[in-house]
């Protein structure tokens, strides 16, 4: 069985800890492990291979996190890179085209938490049995309360009666009381060929455009879909495109301690708490405060006489909300986008395929960063039109190319890159290179990068 892991989504409801370039599935929330890592670890016990569907930025995050622990690796691992997202139906179709038509696939999001792995393995086994009988299987989560943020599945044992849109509270309450309605988990199990046949039958345009995109894709060490092909695929979810139309659908009721962690309220329920109901935090001083979600690792947080609040400090932004209102966080993200702020997009520390950079100070005319380059990695050969750069090495030995000259720069040594000069930073050693970069110029935005050549096949900015 092959696990198709869907890594799309920006996790806007968990802003500011989740950003476009480091979405919630890659944030390490549970014992220094991310939801993506937990997904791989959990499904490696029931699947022998995996296809990870992601965009280019998430590809490098996923590679890094797979390499951190040997237990996260699965033999026969593939990546399928989408240049733009077109929802779950095309993503799953493209992944199914990469395996044998008789292969049973387990489709899972990368950002769900499942705590009862014993029961999880049981429901997966039952789903696999149904998939081998040529059914399309979905997993229905037994609801524990009247949730209005999920779609529901009406079931009759393992038969699907109907799919329901996200209900209002009164309707959700009736669903829970009825006992045969389940939360739609967004997880699926079926033979790749059976799904593709049903997609072709009920959403022919998506099938045809996906097939063309897959046939035209670059397939060297990974599957890279071309932008001009991806944009021609209609955007639709697997539920609308196939599951709600097919007569081959089954549901496996699943009581697996599941959460999609779709809000800070959901996250609060899953994190360890102190005797007063506050989430545990070494940087927290709590005075007569209780039942609060407090997240932050960069600065000390002190609370006095507060109750049932959400306080999140990410270093460059602070979120304060009443518990029960955290679904509105996505409205904050919409405002940030309207203001053309980068706060919805990137953290102070940004992850790149070659390492990380952290913005230490940023104001008009200059920016100061700490840059960490991993061993045997190098940045793109590049130039800038609007800034000069000064590099001071703190540890490790950097290999620096400026124009036609390449030299080694050691700790407490520096180099200068004039505006417009072609340059490259590399680490040919065995330990990380750490340096301080001072950018000086009229514009220091991240899009002032012209890449001449790049080991990671990234675009110009």
Average pLDDT over residues 418-428: 96
Q: Could you tell me if residue 344 is inside a domain?
A: no
Looking at the structure, do residues 288 and 426 belong to the same domain, yes or no? no
Which pLDDT score, from 0 to 100, does residue 72 have?
61
Q: Report which of 169, 237, 143 is spatially closest to residue 199, judged by C-alpha positions.
A: 237
Are residues 33 and 157 part of one domain? yes
Q: Indicate left, alpha or beta for 281 from its phi (over 0: left) and psi (-120 to 50: alpha).
A: beta
pLDDT in tens, 15-48: 999 998 889 999 999 988 999 999 999 999 999 9
Of the candidates 376, 383, 413, 375, the one whose C-alpha atom is nearest the C-alpha of residue 401 is 383
In this model, does residue 312 exceed pLDDT 50?
Answer: yes
Q: Which domain holds residue 445?
A: 349-453
Mean pLDDT to the nearest integer, 299-327? 95
Strand partners, 415: 391
Tell me, yes or no, whether 343 lies in a domain. Answer: no
- CA distances for 428 relative to 285, 369, 371, 408, 451, angstroms: 44, 21, 15, 10, 20
> Which of 216, 236, 259 lies at the terminal end of a domain, its last residue?
259
Average pLDDT over residues 394-423: 95
DSSP sequence for 135-167: -EEEEEEPPSS--SSS-EEEEETTEEEEEEPPP
Asked which of 72-86, 177-191, 290-304, 329-343 is least confident by mean pLDDT, the reply is 72-86
Instruction: State whether 303 and 226 are in the same domain.
Output: no
With tokens 């130039």, the residue in question is 383
Which tokens sit at 328?
């509105």
Alpha-helical runs (H) found in 30-165: 35-43, 56-68, 88-96, 117-131
> What's the pLDDT band for 416 if we cut at 50, 70, 90?
very high
Please, which pLDDT band fits residue 461 given cuts at 50, 70 and 90?
very low
Average pLDDT of 119-137?
A: 98
Average pLDDT over all residues of the chain: 93
Both 82 and 33 in one domain: the answer is yes
Q: Provide the sign of the torsion angle of the four alpha carbons 251, 101, 218, 211, taken in this order.
A: negative
Per-residue pLDDT band for 70 (boundaries 50, 70, 90) equals: low
Is the same domain home to 89 and 164? yes
Q: Which of 196-200, 266-270, 347-351 has the lowest mean pLDDT?
A: 347-351
Residue 334 domain-assigned (yes or no): no
Helix (H/G/I), strand (E/B), else coil: 34: strand
Confidence of residue 71 (pLDDT cuts 50, 70, 90): low
In the predicted structure, residue 187 carries a pLDDT above the cut 80: yes
**Mode of pairing for the β-strands spanning 423-427 and 377-378:** antiparallel
C-alpha radius of gyration, the chain, whole number = 24
User: Averaged over 144-154, what is the pLDDT?
Assistant: 91
pLDDT digits (tens, 9 = 90+) for 198-210: 999 999 999 999 9
Same domain, 228 and 275: no
- For the whole model, what pTM was predicted? 0.87
CA distances from 161 to 14, 148, 222, 243 (A): 33, 20, 39, 12
The number of folded domains in the chain is 3
- Domain containing residue 385: CATH number: 2.60.120.10
Question: What pLDDT score was predicted for residue 221?
Answer: 77
Do 374 and 292 fall into the same domain? Answer: no
The proportion of the chain whose per-residue pLDDT surpasses 90, expressed as a percent, equals 81
Proportion of the chain above pLDDT 70, given as a percent:
98
Q: Mean of the pLDDT values across residues 116-141?
A: 97
Q: What is the CATH number of the domain that holds 120?
A: 3.90.550.10
78 shares its domain with 210? yes
Q: Does residue 460 belong to any structural domain of this protein?
A: no
Distance CA 105, CA 298 (A): 41
Query: How many CB atoms are located within 10 Å of the residue 70 CB?
Result: 7
269 and 209 housed in the same domain: no
Residues 246 and 292 placed together within one structural domain of the fold: no
Q: Is residue 338 part of a domain?
A: no
- What is the pLDDT, as a whole number, of residue 140? 96
Confirm if 174 and 232 have CB atoms less than 8 A apart: no
Does one domain contain both 423 and 298?
Answer: no
Taking residues 230-240, report their average pLDDT: 96
Q: Write down which residue in 259, 286, 314 finishes a domain.
A: 259
Predicted confidence at residue 284, as pLDDT, reads 95
The verdict on 166 and 306 lying in the same domain is no
384 dihedral zone (left: phi>0; alpha: psi -120 to 50; beta): beta
* The pLDDT value given to residue 342: 86
């Amino acid at each position: 069985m092959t696990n198709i892991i869907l890594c799309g989504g920006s996790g806007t409801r968990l802003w500011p800890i989740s950003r476009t370039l480091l979405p919630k599935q890659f944030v390490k929330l549970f014992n220094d492990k991310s939801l993506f890592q937990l997904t791989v670890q959990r499904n490696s016990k029931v699947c022998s291979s995996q296809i990870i569907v992601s965009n280019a930025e998430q590809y490098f995050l996923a590679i890094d996190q797979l390499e951190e622990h040997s237990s996260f690796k699965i033999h026969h691992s593939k990546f399928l890179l989408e240049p733009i997202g077109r929802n779950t139906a095309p993503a799953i179709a493209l992944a199914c085209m990469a395996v044998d038509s008789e292969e049973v696939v387990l489709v899972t999001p990368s950002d769900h938490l499942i705590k009862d792995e014993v029961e999880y393995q049981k429901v997966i086994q039952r789903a696999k049995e149904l998939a081998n009988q040529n059914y399309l299987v979905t997993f229905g989560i037994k609801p524990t309360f009247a949730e209005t943020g999920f779609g529901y599945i009406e079931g009759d044992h393992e038969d699907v009666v109907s799919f329901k849109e996200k209900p209002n509270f009164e309707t959700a309450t009736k669903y829970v009381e009825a006992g045969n309605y389940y939360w739609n988990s967004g997880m699926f199990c079926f033979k790749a060929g059976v799904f593709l046949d049903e997609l072709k039958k009920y959403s022919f345009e998506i099938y045809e455009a996906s097939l063309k995109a897959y046939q035209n894709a670059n397939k060297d060490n990974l599957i890279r879909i071309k932008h001009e092909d991806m944009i021609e695929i209609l955007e639709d979810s697997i539920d609308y495109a196939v599951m709600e139309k097919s007569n081959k659908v089954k549901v496996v009721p699943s009581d697996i301690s599941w959460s999609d962690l779709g809000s800070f309220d959901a996250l609060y329920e899953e994190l360890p708490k102190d005797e007063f109901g506050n989430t545990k935090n070494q940087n927290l001083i709590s005075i007569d405060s209780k039942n609060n979600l407090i997240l932050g690792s960069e600065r000390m947080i002190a609370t006095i006489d507060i109750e049932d609040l959400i306080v999140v400090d990410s270093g460059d932004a602070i979120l304060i909300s009443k518990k029960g209102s955290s679904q509105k966080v996505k409205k904050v993200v919409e405002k940030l986008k309207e203001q053309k702020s980068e706060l919805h997009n990137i953290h102070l520390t940004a992850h790149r395929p070659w390492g990380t950079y952290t913005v230490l100070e940023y104001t008009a005319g200059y920016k100061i960063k700490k840059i960490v380059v991993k061993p045997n990695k190098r940045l793109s050969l590049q130039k800038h039109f609007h800034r000069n750069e000064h590099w001071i090495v703190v540890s490790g030995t950097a290999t620096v190319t400026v124009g036609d000259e390449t030299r080694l720069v050691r700790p407490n040594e520096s180099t200068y890159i004039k505006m417009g000069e072609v340059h490259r930073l590399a680490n040919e050693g065995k330990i990380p290179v750490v340096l301080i970069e001072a950018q000086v110029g009229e514009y220091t935005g991240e899009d002032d990068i012209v890449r001449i050549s790049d080991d990671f096949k990234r675009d110009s900015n």
